[in-house]
């Protein structure tokens, strides 16, 4: 058939499988690093009003000028740096990959890492190279530096803290990577609010460094807003690929509004961190569970039979992420997002019964 998809669609796309998001209706949803808390009632009323009055018959402000001013104020961005906005940070990863996808160009990350790095490299026609972490999920600096010298990556993505492992890499090791890289290094700080570390203050020192943030893990995953912070030299080029209306009217208005209340998000994050400590303690006391330290809003842990535990939890109406089979270092590993104390108690109770099997 001359005009069938098989003839027209790129072979590397034909061989992909669609990213699977499992159904979660009515379930205790601890699979996607969402913040379990709502905004306060008063703020939700304001949001209702803003939404009702929003000019959704018009295209959004293509430069999101007003929102950017609010973001620059609340983020303490070093002077001289610009901000680019994405429809989630996933879109920013895509823009960076599209812009740097010269023929044969390499996008590098560590493994296991955020799966979007690999997927988007493929979409953009880049070669993906994933450098395995050590078995404790720390950065293998020696191997990484060799790989950088060998592959000369156009872009390196490092999530800090890392997903799905939850840990922060050694800062000195990451700085060595930045210094040795022949191209861009993007530090993805999606979980920044749960960790006491950032490369924000390093932006002025390294001309090849960009920093990515998102409102998703903060408690606004549904709004879809990601940010890239860096030098105008880079951002001016990347802006050319950003579709003009990528951030909608409602997202711009609501993000600007909620940024006026940073304490709400800091309080929710500190509740989540306190709950993370409780969960870590409870998990570590269970026989047959090995847990890994986390600076994010989720915990990676290993059991004896990951699939049985995952499936058993699912049948109890609790959805977490099964990572068994996704990478050799993640054998029998599961990832649970920190929920409310009640959700976490339900999870722990069900888990206790399942690991006895
Ligand atoms: C969740 C996550 C993102 C967020 O993506 P958005 O598109 O902004 O929701 C980015 N990077 C990492 C490492 C993540 O885990």
Q: Residue 357 pLDDT > 70, yes or no?
A: no
Q: How confident is the model at residue 76 (pLDDT cuts 50, 70, 90)?
A: confident
- 101-151 pLDDT tens trace: 999 999 999 999 999 999 999 999 999 999 999 999 999 999 999 999 999
Give the distance (Å) from ligand 1 centre to CA of residue 177.
21
| Three state DSSP letters for 161-220 | CCCCCCCCCCHHHHHHHHHHCCCEEEEECCCHHHCCCCCHHHCCCCCCEEEEEECHHHHH
- Give φ, ψ of 199 to 5 degrees: -100, 10
Q: How confident is the model at residue 19 (pLDDT cuts 50, 70, 90)?
A: confident
The residue contributing the CA closest to ligand 1 atom 3 is 190
Give the distance (Å) from ligand 1 centre to CA of residue 216.
7
- 136-189 pLDDT tens trace: 999 999 999 999 999 999 999 999 999 999 999 999 999 999 999 999 999 999
The residue contributing the CA closest to ligand 1 atom 2 is 190
Give the distance (Å) from ligand 1 centre to CA of residue 121.
15
- 84-113 pLDDT tens trace: 999 999 999 999 999 999 999 999 999 999
Confidence at residue 17, expressed as pLDDT on a 0 to 100 scale: 87
pTM: 0.97
Provide the residue count of the chain.
357
Q: Which atom of ligand 1 is nearest to the CA of 226?
A: 8
Mutate to test the pocket of ligand 1, among 35, 96, 217 (most ligand atoms within 8 A of CB): 217
Give the distance (Å) from ligand 1 centre to CA of residue 334.
18
Give the distance (Å) from ligand 1 centre to CA of residue 90.
6
Per-residue pLDDT averaged across 68-92, rounded? 95
- 281-321 pLDDT tens trace: 999 999 999 999 999 999 999 999 999 999 999 999 999 99
Could you tell me which residues come within 8 angstroms of residue 4 by beta carbon, excluding any fewer than 6 positions away?
none
Hey, what's the torsion of the CAs at 214, 217, 218, 219, to 10 degrees?
120
Q: Which residue do the tokens 């955020």 mark? A: 114
Per-residue pLDDT averaged across 70-94, rounded? 95
- CA 331 – CA 322 distance, rounded (Å): 10
Confidence at residue 356, expressed as pLDDT on a 0 to 100 scale: 78
Q: Which atom of ligand 1 is nearest to the CA of 217?
A: 1
Confidence at residue 18, expressed as pLDDT on a 0 to 100 scale: 87
Q: Which atom of ligand 1 is nearest to the CA of 87?
A: 7
Neighbours of 145 (CB within 10 A): 17
Over the chain, what is the mean pLDDT?
Answer: 96
Percent of residues, the chain, with pLDDT higher than 90: 95
Q: Residue 202 pLDDT > 70, yes or no?
A: yes
Q: Which atom of ligand 1 is nearest to the CA of 159?
A: 13
Could you tell me which residues come within 8 angstroms of residue 218 by beta carbon, excluding any fewer than 6 positions away?
35, 193, 265, 269
Give the distance (Å) from ligand 1 centre to CA of residue 93.
10
């Amino acid at each position: 058939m001359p005009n069938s998809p098989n003839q027209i669609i790129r072979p590397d796309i034909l061989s992909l499988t669609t990213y699977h998001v499992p159904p979660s209706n009515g379930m205790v949803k601890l699979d996607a690093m969402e913040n379990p808390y709502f905004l306060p009632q008063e703020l939700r009323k304001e949001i209702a009003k803003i939404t009702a009055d929003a000019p959704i018959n018009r295209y959004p402000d293509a430069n999101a000028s007003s929102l950017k001013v609010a973001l620059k104020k609340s983020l303490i961005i070093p002077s001289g740096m610009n901000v680019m906005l994405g429809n989630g940070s996933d879109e920013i990863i895509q823009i960076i990959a599209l812009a740097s996808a010269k023929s044969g160009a390499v996008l590098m990350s560590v493994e296991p890492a955020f799966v979007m790095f690999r997927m988007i490299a493929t979409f953009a026609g880049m070669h993906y190279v994933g450098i395995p972490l050590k078995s404790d999920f720390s950065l293998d600096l020696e191997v990484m530096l060799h790989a950088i010298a060998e592959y000369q990556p156009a872009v390196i993505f490092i999530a800090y803290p890392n997903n799905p492992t939850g840990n922060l890499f050694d800062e000195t090791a990451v700085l060595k990577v930045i210094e040795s890289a022949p191209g861009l290094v993007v530090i993805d700080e999606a979980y920044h609010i749960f960790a006491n570390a950032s490369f924000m203050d390093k932006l002025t020192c390294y001309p090849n460094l960009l920093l990515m943030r998102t409102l998703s893990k903060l408690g606004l995953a549904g709004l879809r807003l990601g940010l890239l912070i860096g030098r105008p030299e880079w951002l001016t080029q990347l802006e050319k690929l950003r579709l003009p209306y990528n951030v909608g009217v409602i997202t711009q208005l609501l993000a600007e509004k909620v940024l006026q209340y940073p304490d709400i998000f800091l309080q929710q994050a500190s509740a989540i961190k306190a709950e993370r400590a409780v969960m870590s303690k409870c998990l570590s006391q269970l026989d047959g569970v090995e847990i890994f330290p986390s600076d994010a809003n989720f915990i990676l842990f290993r059991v004896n039979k990951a699939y049985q535990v995952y499936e058993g939890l699912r049948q109890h109406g609790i959805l977490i992420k099964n990572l068994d089979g996704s990478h050799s270092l993640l054998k029998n590993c599961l990832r649970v997002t920190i929920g409310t104390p009640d959700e976490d108690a339900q999870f722990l109770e069900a888990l206790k019964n399942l690991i006895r099997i």
